Amino acid sequence: MQISERTEGDHGYAEMADEMLKLASIQPGFLGVESVREGLGITMSYSDSLEAIQQWKQNERHLIAQSKASTN
């Protein structure tokens, strides 16, 4: 689960969220994703195994997106 506090303006959030959805959807074990973007941005992705979750958490682009979300 990724939670970020939304700030005034988009700051590339929507583009990065779209990229993460596309990237996550091709990861082995991907089952789906749910997202809410009102006040807080909350995204929950679902995978079929702990191994798949661990691999996604170590994905380089995903790590970059998480670090950007925490600074916006």
**Reduced 3-state DSSP string for the chain:** CEEEECCCCCCCHHHHHHHHHHHHHCCCCEEEEEEEEECEEEEEEEECCHHHHHHHHCCHHHHHHHHHHCCC
The arithmetic mean of pLDDT across residues 35-60, rounded, is 88
pLDDT reading at 50 higher than 90: yes
Going from N- to C-terminal start, the domains of the chain cover 2-69
Task: Kindly report the pTM of this predicted structure.
Answer: 0.68
Confidence (pLDDT) at 43: 83
- 2-69 belongs to which CATH class? alpha beta
